[in-house]
Structure 1
Amino acid sequence: MAISAEKIWTDFAESHQLTNKTFQTRWFGEQSNSKEVSELTDKILAGDKIATSKPLAYYSSKDEPIPQVGDYAVLLNADMHAVGIIETVVSELVPFFRVSAEHAYNEAEGKRTLEDWQERSKNKFAAQMNKYDRQFSTNDPVVCEVIKLVYRV
């Protein structure tokens, strides 16, 4: 039986005395691609995927706040069931071509090299921004985030 995101958050917040904190729900990958979401969720739960990135313009296009250090999110799996809680431990704005090899490796996708990350991300970011009638350029800034799994169901 699936536990609600609200219940997981309430239990976690109470046990960690987080009285003034709120949470969001979050999944990684395209929600329409359950295989991708499952793979990325498994990598987070295993401790392999500890980083992610999106173009800065994505956040304004979606009217979403940029992740901030100390933000919490209830991690959802491909079935949109809560499986854990993650915390943002680093959130920085980096020009696309200045993203580090360490960050690329920590995203735990593809070959885990900087060159592979640049090629895959260039295509992924262009497709993401195209959905909002915007262009992505490799001159654009990218929000690079490091996450930590702080609770697992």
Structure 2
Amino acid sequence: MTVLQFWNEYLAKTGQKPQDAVYNGELCFEDSGWTGQSQLNLVLGEKKTAIFTPFPSFEINREKLPVAGEVYVVEDTQENPCAVIRVKDVKIIPFSQISWELAQQDGEDENLEAWQEKERDFFEEEADLCGFDFDEEMPVVCEIFELVYKKI
């Protein structure tokens, strides 16, 4: 099924009119393999309801910051559409000030320290790839979202 077919199915099953629906593109968690699939499973199980991205990544890649209300088709690691999420809120917070309440929405870790360690590793890799330096006071874009539709 193509993304357009999936989007049309979503509109039909939710009763939305195409002119009223906001479509912002596709989203795939991680690059591929087990990590991407495990992230997707957390989203589909509604355990992952947030995405954390280093602010410099948006600047360097010349991407617009997300805003509440945006809707994305989520693809699996094979680029097959499987869900629709809606951004509920966007916060920009220094890494060191992200609370456990917010970090829990990532859906994976047992405590704030474990989340920080994992994210530090991820952000340092992202920093190396994109050409910026990670530090504890670096702003992080926190997208809080909700699953609004999934392929059954």
Say yes or no: TM over 0.5. yes
Amino-acid identity (%) = 22
**Paired letter, 2:39:** L
Matched, 1:69 2:51: no
Q: Distance in 2 between matches of 1:118 and 1:18?
A: 40
After superposition, where does 1:34-45 map in structure 2 within 5 Å? Answer: 34-45=33-44
Distance 1:9 1:87, change over 3 A: same
Partner residue, 1:130: 128
CA distance in 2, matches of 1:85, 1:62: 24
The CA deviation string for residues 9-61 of structure 1, in whole angstroms up to 9 with x for no partner, is 233346223515222100112x1x31111111011101111111011111112
SS in 2 for 1:131: helix
Partner amino acid, structure 2, of 1:8: F
TM-score, reference length from structure 2: 0.90
Residue correspondences, number? 148
Structure 1 unaligned blocks of 5 or more: none
In the alignment, is residue 24 of structure 1 matched against residue 25 of structure 2?
yes
Contact kept? 1:106, 1:112, Cα under 8 Å? no
Once the two structures are superposed, the pairs formed by residues 1-153 of structure 1 within 5 Å of their partners are 3-13=1-11, 15-20=15-20, 21-29=22-30, 31=31, 33-109=32-108, 111-153=109-151
Q: Aligned partners of 1:28, 1:112: CA distance in 2, in Å? A: 21
TM-score by length of 1: 0.90
Structure 2's unaligned 5+ residue stretches are none
Aligned AA for 2:123? F
List per-residue Cα deviations over 1:94-142 (Å, max 9, x = no partner): 1111111012111012x33111111111121111011012111111100
Give the C-alpha shift of residue 65 in structure 1: 1.5
Query: Matches of 2:73 and 2:128 in 1, distance apart?
Result: 28
Q: How far 1:5 sits from its partner (Å)? A: 1.1
Query: What's the RMSD between the two structures over aligned residues?
Result: 1.4
How far apart in 1 are the matches of 2:18 and 2:145?
Answer: 18
The one-character-per-residue Cα deviations of 1:53-98 (angstroms, maximum 9, x if unpaired) are 0111111122222111001110011111000101100111111111
